[in-house]
Structure formats: structure tokens, C-alpha cells
Structure 1
Amino acid sequence: MSKIRDFMEDQFLIEFDETFPASSDLFKEGVMDSFGYIQLIRFLEEEFEIKFTEKEMTGGVMVSLEQIEQTVAQKTADRSTS
């Protein structure tokens, strides 16, 4: 999951640490906008060979690094058991 953290830190020019924890809401903090979110989704789909449904992308589920990592872990686990 360090690939996700590295991508986000490079793409959005942030650093996750004790002052900006992985649980931070990236939209509310002004780090990510809808364009950045689409870039992130594309990266995740290509890097981890997964697909997101429209409902998953618009449901507001993935607003923090923690949530993104959990979702990707679940999707990759689901793929490997299918």
C-alpha cells in the first residue's frame, strides 16, 4: 500500500505524518478536488488491476488515505478469491 501513499504524496504535494494523518479528509482539507480524485482512481485501477463502479466512485467512501487503502485491499482480495 506504500505505492498509494507515495503516489498521493507526489501528486498532491502532501506528506502524511502526525500533523496530517492518513485519516484526514482529503477533500475537506483542500488537498484533493474532483479532478485529482479521477487521477487517483485511474492510478488505482491501473496499478492494482481493479475497477471501481460509479457508485463506489461517487459514494464518498474514499475520502482519506486510510479509506482508500482499505478499499483497494478489499477489492484486490475479492479479485483473488473470485
Structure 2
Amino acid sequence: MQQIRDFIEDQFLIEFDESFPETSDLFKEGVMDSFGYIQLIRFLEKEFDIKFSEQEMTANVMVSLSLIEKTVSRKLSESITD
């Protein structure tokens, strides 16, 4: 999951630390907008060979690094069992 953290930090010019924890809402903090979110989705789909449904993309499940990592982990485990 380090590649997700690296992508977000590089793409959005932030650094996760004590003052900006992994649970921070990237939208509310002004780090990511809808265009950035689409870039993130494309990166995740390409990097991890997964696909997100429209419902997953609009359900506010991927607003923080910790939630993004949890969602990707779930999708990866689902793809293994399919």
C-alpha cells in the first residue's frame, strides 16, 4: 500500500504525518478535488488491476488514505476469491 501513499503525496503535494494523519478527509482538507479523485481512481485501477463501480466511486468510501487502502485491500481480496 506504500505506492498509494506515495502517489497521493506526490500528486497532491502533501505529506502524511502527525499534523495530517492518514484518516484526514482529502476533500474537506482541500487536498483533492473531483479531477484529482478521477486521477486517483485511474491510478488505483491500473496499479492494482482492479475496477471500481460507479457506486463505489460515489459512496464517499475513499476520502482518506486509510479508507482508500482499506477499499483497495478489500477489492484485491475479492478478486482472489473470484
> TM-score, normalised to structure 1's length?
0.99
RMSD in angstroms over aligned alpha carbons?
0.4
- 1:25-82: CA deviation from partner (whole Å, max 9, x where unpaired): 0000000000000000000000000000000001111100000000000000100111
Aligned residue pairs total: 82
Q: Which segments of 5 or more consecutive residues in structure 1 lack a partner in the other structure?
A: none
- Where do residues 24-63 of structure 1 align in structure 2 (5 Å cutoff)? 24-63=24-63
Q: Which segments of 5 or more consecutive residues in structure 2 lack a partner in the other structure?
A: none
Q: What is the alpha-carbon distance in structure 2 between the residues aligned to residue 28 and residue 53 of structure 1? A: 23
Alignment-derived partner of residue 77 in structure 2: 77
User: What is the CA-CA distance between 1:8 and the residue it aligns to?
Assistant: 0.3
Amino acid at match of 1:38: I
Q: Calculate percent identity across the aligned residue pairs.
A: 72
> TM-score, normalised to structure 2's length?
0.99
